[in-house]
Structure 1
Amino acid sequence: MASEQNGEADPLHDRVAVAEGLARAAGAKARDFFLNRGVLHPELKSASQDLVSEADRSIEAWLRLSIHEHFPTDGIVGEEEAATEGTSGFVWVIDPIDGTMPFLVGQPNWTVSIGIARDRQPVAGVIFAPMMDELYLAVEGGGAWLNGVRLTMNQEWTVASTTTGFGATQKADPKDVGAFVEALYREGGVVFRVGSGALMLAYVAANRLAGYYDPTLFCWDCWAGIALVREAGGVVTFDGELDRPGPMWAGNARVHDDLVRLSRRPT
């Protein structure tokens, strides 16, 4: 991917190039932890399945240091540490291990997720799944890619075409969860879940899922994935911000609108 336009450095593409390298390096570090996860000491954060380990913390600390070395005026928002302010207009949105629960129990479906915001909008993202050796990359105006192959979403799909990602955790309202699942199944859909919001968004971009709905996501779970889906031709609505969580719907235009409709409980 070119890093110059009209002979001048392109600040976004420069950051994407660094993000790809950092995602691969962080993935290698995470993989080492994963293969020796028996020595980790996971701790509860807010619920029985909301965990953090020294793997999450040490890799995020390394990412923050590396980003600051490359782009000292950029801001950083991450899952494990407080946000740091910047002055460049760029903010890095990082999750060192998205899918900590799958990671800790030996499932391969976890990722390193690095999103980039410019003026608080998602403009690029890298999602790396080390155990599957899959790297997803997107940059505004430059398309979405999986291991160098361009991704284009199927615009004909409906919620009945294949499975739909659903990200509700045990903190979600059971009545809302049940109502959405029932509504989806009534229209021929089937639920899919892997424990990593970033990976499920990547699967939407790659035509592995029809769409994805999550009642509560944080920016670090979805920022890179939003860029991926949009650059692959999809639609994403995230009713959160860099500093607060919110619900999110993703798919082609029809699936997106259907997921919004199906997730609204009658009042």
Structure 2
Amino acid sequence: MQYVAEKQTTNETDIDLSQRLEVAIEIIKEAGKMAKDAFTTMTPDKIGYKGPQDFLTETDLAVELLIRERLYTAFPEDSVYGEETGGEIKSNTWILDPIDGTANFARGIPHFCIVMAYVCDNDTKLGLIFDPIHDELFTAEKGKGSSLNGRNLQVAKTESFDEASLELGWNQRSSEENYFSALKNLCQLGANVRRSASGALALAYVAKGRTDGYVELHMNPWDCLAGLLLVKESGGVINNYTQLAEWHKGGPVFAVIPSLAEAVADKVLIEIEQYA
């Protein structure tokens, strides 16, 4: 399949973004089909490791190369920055994770997704998260809301931590001491705290209202930018990730419903955006 768009400029217009979103939806669905087909035939010999508890499969590479090729064809002036093959952050950059939740994918657990975000001058304009197993496509465009398979999203209206469900991501980029401290502090609020091993889907679930918040002490941009935009466009409270000095190297992530946001932020010591 070929996706070709007209020449783009750095300063985005609504037409530019709508066109990019339309093309990105086609691309992420094609990538999702590749990932789903590979998932059904996954065997232990296809699993590799980039480090402790850091899984890599041949599908990660194949999906990223597919997305990269399609984006370069459609938008040759845009940069692409991916988890597996790197790239550069420029004025117009697509940031992608071919398989978020690779550990789940590799072990036959149907909880993973493909992630794409479009960033213009350090501002996330588009976010897409596709769960191919459940055929759920989450999309967001800055200032225009968010959707799941075309239906508008809104975060949950939970009022009490006694009823709240939060998710806390973990990885070895932050110390165990910091992680367990954050976990203890969140549990002390009275919330149920879980971990599903796909940070991008966790953020999408906050946007959908399936959970009330997601926090991770250090997260890479390809995992979180799309989800942060989804949560913000669904009425949630986030931290201003792309305003960090070296955000392309990763940083803390915060995405919580408004009624619980300040209390959670105090417990995990993450500065959040101002909100009404």
**TM-score for the superposition, normalised by structure 2:** 0.87
Residue 16 of structure 2, aligned match among 11, 31, 52: 11
Query: Are the structure 2 counterparts of residues 152 and 42 from structure 1 closer, same or farther at C-alpha, using a change threshold of 3 Å?
Result: same
Whether 1:68 and 2:72 are equivalent positions in the alignment is yes
Question: How many Å apart are 1:102 and its aligned residue?
Answer: 0.3
SS in 2 for 1:73: coil
Q: Which residue of 1 aligns with 2:238?
A: 236
Aligned equivalent of 2:37: 32
**Larger deviation, residues 237-246 vs 100-109:** 237-246
Residue by residue over 1:184-219, the C-alpha shift from the partner in whole angstroms, topping out at 9 and shown as x without a partner, is 111111112111111000000011111010011000
- C-alpha separation in 2, matches of 1:160 and 1:9: 42
Report the secondary structure of 1:131's partner residue.
coil
Q: What's the CA shift string for 1:111-170, capped at 9, x where partnerless? A: 000111111111111100011111101101221101111011235534443210110125
Q: Does residue 55 of the first structure (1) align with residue 55 of the second (2)?
A: no
Equivalents in 1 of 2:48, 2:14: separation in Å? 43
Relative to structure 1, the CA distance from residue 264 to residue 120 in structure 2 (aligned partners, 3 Å threshold; closer, same or farther) is closer
2:111 is the counterpart of 1:109? yes
Corresponding residue for 1:183?
Answer: 185
Classify 1:245/1:159 alpha carbon distance in 2 versus 1 (closer, same or farther; 3 Å): farther
> Contact conserved, 1:40 with 1:53, CA < 8 A, in 2?
no
Q: Is the 8 A contact 2:167 2:213 kept in 1?
A: yes
* TM-score relative to the length of structure 1: 0.89
- 1:133-172 residue pairs with structure 2 within 5 A? 133-172=135-174
Deviation at 1:9, TM superposition (A): 7.3
CA contact (8 A) 2:47 2:57 kept: yes
Distance 1:121 1:71 in 2: 18
1: CA distance, partners of 2:178 / 2:260: 19
Cα 1:242–1:177 change in 2 (3 A) is closer
Residue in structure 2 matched with residue 261 of structure 1 by the alignment: 266
Distance in 2, Cα, partners of 1:237 & 1:59: 29
**2:6 maps to which residue?**
none
Moved more, 187-196 or 96-105: 187-196
Counterpart for residue 5 of structure 1: none
211, 214, 222: which is aligned to 1:212? Answer: 214
Give the % identical residues: 31
| C-alpha distance in structure 2 between counterparts of 1:120 and 1:192, whole Å | 31
Distance 1:246 1:158 in 2: 28
Secondary structure of 1:209's counterpart equals coil
- Mapped to 2, the partners of 1:192 and 1:9 lie a distance apart of 38
Note if contact 1:75-1:91 (Cα within 8 Å) is conserved in structure 2: yes
Secondary structure of 1:122 counterpart: strand
- Match for residue 124 of structure 1? 126
In 2: Cα distance, 1:163 partner to 1:237 partner: 19
Secondary structure of the corresponding residue to residue 248 of structure 2: coil
Q: Are the structure 2 counterparts of residues 72 and 112 from structure 1 closer, same or farther at C-alpha, using a change threshold of 3 Å?
A: same
Distance in 2 (CA, whole Å) between partners of 1:166 and 1:122 is: 23
Structure 1 unaligned residues grouped into runs of 5+ = 1-7
- The residue type paired with residue 20 of structure 1 is I
Shift in CA distance, 165/9, structure 1 to aligned 2, threshold 3 Å: closer
Residues 11, 206 of structure 1: alpha-carbon distance in 2 compared, 3 angstrom cutoff: same
| Offset, 1:41 | 2.3
Matched, 1:80 2:84: yes
1:229 deviation in Å? 0.5
More displaced 10-residue stretch of structure 1: 92-101 or 251-260: 251-260
Q: Which amino acid aligns with 1:65?
A: E
Structure 2, gaps ≥5 residues long? 1-12, 271-276
Aligned residues: 255
CA distance in 2, matches of 1:202, 1:167: 14
- When the two chains are superposed, the root-mean-square deviation of aligned CA atoms in Å is 1.9
Instruction: Flag as ranges the 4+ runs of structure 1 deviating above 4 A.
Output: 238-242
Q: Which amino acid aligns with 1:41?
A: K
